Amino acid sequence: MAMNKNTVLAWATFIMIFVGCGLISLGAFKYDDVAGWGFASVGVGFFAIAWVFNALKGRV
């Protein structure tokens, strides 16, 4: 299986979504103070970067 640029971006998108879900769940369920908001906002940032990676597939 050859790893071309589209499959690399697809794997990067999947990993970023997985990490973003993990960060949002940490912020929602583990931390009840201000740190929870930080974890959740970083998780949303991971979603935004994953969206960009997904948009770049086929264009780079």
pLDDT tens by residue, 21-35:
999 999 999 988 899
Q: What is the pLDDT of residue 42?
A: 96
Q: Which domain holds residue 50?
A: 5-56
The whole-number average pLDDT for the span 5-24 is 93
The whole model's pTM is what? 0.83
Task: State the total domains in the chain.
Answer: 1
Distance, CA of 36 to CA of 47 (rounded, Å): 17
pLDDT at 60 over 80: no
| DSSP H/E element including 20 | helix 5-25
**pLDDT confidence of residue 44:** 95
Q: Do residues 23 and 40 touch, judged by C-beta distance below 8 A? A: yes
- C-alpha distances (whole Å) from 1 to each of 16, 22, 54 are 22, 29, 21
> Which residues fall within 8 angstroms of residue 26, CB to CB, at 6 or more apart?
36, 39, 43
